[in-house]
Structure 1
């Protein structure tokens, strides 16, 4: 049987008007030349972005430092397009603004890329290709202290619900799984109430590229629950960054079912079959 041909990278992309790839916090020089440089990408609706979304990056950073030979040179939130067509999806403008506030005011290394948000729906595999193209082809990757050029490996950061959908027959195409897990790889954060062992067993051919990260302090905050609190007039402070709470209050978001339908109530699953958060709205730049 001939060896399977790896999926080809997408190298032709459409761009939203006035788009430029954010790289103001992307490190250009590798600190340790023995490490492999990586960029983390979390795809989701982030409607709204919560502290758990931000904690995922911190948990991944700790795990990577302690258990791998990778070095993080950048990290991105990539919100889904309005064309994702999820019922009650808040428009991209507000979602990008909230993510930008969260990244800029709570972190020194996270960035928000609005590329996916402001165009037609893009498959997760294509989103990762976009990051690979911008970082390695356009920007030229990174350099070691001695000036040697290195490609940066793009890796998906996700919750364990994602790996469960990947193991379900018919939800993901084999080509996309090979592209995401075989070419790029993923860090999976354990989510409260989910078990990953059986899911990972069914993805055994890519096990070397799947890194499971336990939540040592369980956190089950979800955007769905936050929206429900807001519709009921309950406080969400200390569940979200203060700047995001202020933005929601100033713009009177999530007060009616139009930004979070009744169908969502009691629905806890955050990751959609396309590899995105079920709530994941697109991100827009703050004007």
Structure 2
């Protein structure tokens, strides 16, 4: 069986899930920061980044149609040689938990690795890797450090990490799976203290070695909420978003006082689902 030596780097794929409403330069910057941090450790080589916009059924206030958010994400990454946009999540008829999205993309990685093997051995390789994947699903403390298949890590901001503590927003077993089996690359902004939150959470503390806290020392407080506010007020957002995204928003008259009220009276999908089951 293949084993990693100290001279070999672990391949990593970074997956960012979110509204991307709209995608900003900071969203793209997160990928660069995470890649630098992981590769500077000498242990990892980041081979791909994936942006996965959430579906309309998430029901977040002000969330415009996925078709627009998907198009803007693709425009934003058209010049990147390693960051891609995937539409699987936003094409699902119902809201999909982030853990299932992560699981889907990991299975895609396994499938891709299978397709790269020789034809004569693909069936045996597939069986072996699927068996390995089944063992992953049975172990809550699994950290993938010795597989040929790249690791998949959820890329997020510190606010997502802290949202793990919001009642009924996440299933405890989903947090366990995301952090324990896959791992998280967390970008923190000025004034944030994710280490404190990790220390206060038993689950996160147990898997702290699988959480990569990455500090952004060049202060950049771009947020999609602030961008939408500026757009409603007909203020310039140039240099906050890629030019192609700014042009798309203007051409399609996106983001207005009316669009910001979309889903205003609707309960967020995870709160609907998990509150009803508790």
**Normalising to structure 1: TM-score of the pair?**
0.74
State the alpha-carbon separation in 2 of the partners of residues 96 and 188 from structure 1. Answer: 23
Aligned to 2:49: 75
Say whether 1:159 aligns with 2:157: yes
Change (3 A) 1:229 1:142: farther
Structure 1 runs (4+) deviating above 6 angstroms are: none
Residue 196 of structure 1: CA displacement?
A: 1.3
Counterpart in 2 of 1:252? 253
Unaligned runs of 5+ in 1: 1-31, 265-271, 275-287
- The answer on whether the counterparts of 1:141 and 1:150 sit within 8 Å (CA) in structure 2 is no
List gaps (5 residues or longer) in structure 2: 1-5, 118-124, 126-146, 271-278
SS at match of 2:239: coil
- Listed one character per residue, the Cα deviations across residues 65-99 of structure 1 (whole Å, up to 9, x for unaligned) are 11251111111000001000112210011000000
Matches within 5 A, 1:103-118: 103-105=77-79, 107-118=80-91
User: RMSD in angstroms over aligned alpha carbons?
Assistant: 2.5
2: CA distance, partners of 1:244 / 1:36: 34
Q: What is the aligned length? A: 230
Aligned to 2:176: 178
Whole-angstrom distance in 1 between the partners of 2:261 and 2:194: 29
TM-score of the superposition, structure 2-length normalised? 0.77
Q: In structure 2, what is the Cα distance between the partners aligned to 1:222 and 1:111?
A: 21
The answer as to 2:36 corresponding to 1:62 is: yes
* Distance in 1 (alpha carbons) for counterparts of 2:115 and 2:177: 20
Larger relative CO (CA 8 A, sep 6+): 1 or 2?
1
Q: Post-superposition shift, 1:191?
A: 2.4
Which one has a larger percent helix, Structure 1 or Structure 2? 2
